[in-house]
Chain A
Amino acid sequence: MDIEKIRKDFPILSRKIKGNDLIYFDNAATSQTPIQVINKISEYYSKYNSNIHRGVHFLSQEATSEYELVREKIKNHFNIAKKKEVIFTSGTTHGINLIASGYSNILQKGDEIIVSNLEHHSNIVPLQMLAEKTSSILKVIPMNLSGDLDLKAYKKLLNNKTKLVFVNHVSNSLGTINPIKEIIKEAHIHDAKVLIDGAQSAPHFKTDLIDLNADFYVTSAHKLCGPTGIGFLYGKEVLLNELPPYQGGGEMISEVTFEKTSYADLPHKFEAGTPNISGVIAFGAALDYLNGIGLKEIENYENELLKYATRKLKEVKGLRIFGEAKNKISVISFNIESIHPYDLGSILDKMGIAVRTGQHCAQPVMDFYQIPGTVRVSFSFYNTKKEIDFLILAINKAIKMLS
């Protein structure tokens, strides 16, 4: 991997922030966009901007085939059995809500839903809403100090009333890689369906959905070097067919009269209205870009960054890392003794370093550690050890200022 060459693909990385070179360590919130993806958005609007699936004209056909080609690319990239099992959404949150909402017609009073203590709020709140609507019960897989889920406790939570299990592949606040293959296998023994939130995992390593045997899977393009406002939902065909449409509108119907409307087949049943066409097409370009580098190469390099930064950060006096699971991605959440994460984040910002501070939309994780929040640095394949060295310098300077 030629990092210097890769960095040149990202125009934003040459920005100066308050006189300093931008150091972007907030990749878990959103990844940066390579010129190839930016150009693809521009190409769409300059060459074949038109509505898809219904036009007879040339532009519409061109846009439709580009759009559908991306469905194929996603199918191949994530190893999905059928193209129609790929539903375009506005992102991870949309996908979770679509499934949670669909099950509000299926769950019965007293049924059980399992989530984990490590979830992002977007994988908690829709299920609380579902539980409230259906009088079902929400149960939580506990975590331990290292930031791993307690699988023994999980197995005890499962029973024949368990209908759904919603778990993230990777924790956004700590970086823990959850053993989802085992989680899925255990759930299936009880005939429960599993949704995997792949927002934090898809950018960092290869996901094989046939091998994992997930029932549903959701992720967002903007974490994968793609644009915001686009993502996809994968669901097994038989399960998606059981669910009612999420939104009504054009595109999702086969016939409409005032007496009755029949719905279109998958995937269109869940894609009402004009979709984010440029977003989908640019998402395809982002997958091409990542595959051009190679996800295995990305994974190896990011692991190297993780190891290096963990070692360097641990040398900082009073620094405590939260979440030291054996299997984790390049995310490090930490605090420094008697310094508020928000103060540290503010000083780092003044030195051009973008980090995330606070609860990371995962308040239950912060409550578990009884802390108001953390500073989170998250690395991507375009980050460098040199940037990590500067981070350490900046942290030491901030400590001097703040103590």
Chain B
Amino acid sequence: MNSISKIQKELVEEFSFFEDWMQRYEHMIDLGKSLPLIKEKYKTDDNIIKGCQSKVWMHAELEETKLIFTADSDAIITKGIIAILIRVFSKQHPDEILNADTKFIDQIGLKEHLSPTRANGLVSMIKQIKMYALAYKTQIN
């Protein structure tokens, strides 16, 4: 099992290999293609994350004590951003998710290279992930 901080470290390293932001975008787009997709039946307005210029749907469910996230977006770069977040936070215990810091986002340089609206969307996504963790934590207990 990979801990959140280990995956975060891997991601920071992975992104440091690229020389310019064009390549990083290309990588993000590739990551988006492997995003664990949300089931059609969960693609409802209730599951849309507000605060994104493109549409983002996210769903979470519990598998024993781990949270599994699935998601989708109508924009491909946004899909890449969610894929990064899901790689970090999916298949983790709600407590781990709640305790995790998100410094890796600044270390990758994600925020500063996204447009302000996309950066806001990113913040909304993390908030939503933590909300799910909080909700499911009480279920486990």
Contacts and interface: CB of A to CB of B under 8 A. Distances in A.
> Sorted from nearest, which 6 A-B pairs have the closest CB atoms?
A340-B75, A343-B77, A342-B75, A343-B75, A342-B54, A343-B76
Interface string B43-78: 000000000011100000000000000000011111
B74 A346 contact: no
Nearest to B73: A340
Given A346-B118, A349-B115, A401 B75 contact: no
Contact of B53 (A342, A350, A401): A342
B13 interface: no
A346 B29 CA distance: 12
A346 B77 contact: yes
A340 B25 contact: no
> Most chain-A CB neighbours within 10 Å: which of B25, B75, B118?
B75
9 contacts: A340-B54, A342-B54, A343-B75, A343-B76, A346-B25, A347-B25, A350-B21, A350-B22, A372-B55
Interface in A1-37: 18
A345 B117 CA distance: 12
A39 to B, nearest CB: 31
A402 interface: yes
B26 interface: yes
A340 B55 CA distance: 10
Interface of B: 21-22, 25-26, 29, 53-55, 74-78, 114-115, 118
Contacts of B77: 342-343, 346
A358 B53 contact: yes
Identify whether the interface residues of B are mostly helix, strand, loop, or mixed: helix
Interface in A319-362: 339-340, 342-343, 345-347, 349-351, 357-358
B141 to A, nearest CB: 40
Contacts of B22: 350-351
Nearest to B52: A342
Nearest to A357: B53
Given A346-B115, A346-B118, A402-B29, A372 B54 contact: yes
Contacts of A339: 76
A339 B74 CA distance: 9
Contacts of A401: 25-26, 29
B78 A342 contact: yes
> Most chain-B CB neighbours within 10 Å: which of A342, A349, A350, A351?
A342
> Most chain-A CB neighbours within 10 Å: which of B54, B74, B118?
B54
A28 to B, nearest CB: 18
Contacts of A342: 53-54, 75, 77-78, 118
Contacts of A349: 115
> Most chain-A CB neighbours within 10 Å: which of B21, B26, B77, B114?
B77
Nearest to A349: B115
Contacts of A351: 22
Given A342-B77, A342-B78, A350 B25 contact: yes
Contacts of B53: 342, 357-358, 373
A340 B77 CA distance: 9
Nearest to B77: A343
Contacts of A340: 54, 74-76, 78
Contacts of B55: 372
Nearest to B114: A346
> Most chain-B CB neighbours within 10 Å: which of A339, A351, A401?
A401
A5 to B, nearest CB: 33
A351 B118 CA distance: 18
Contacts of B21: 18, 350
Nearest to A372: B74
B103 to A, nearest CB: 24
Contacts of B76: 339-340, 343, 402
A225 B84 CA distance: 42
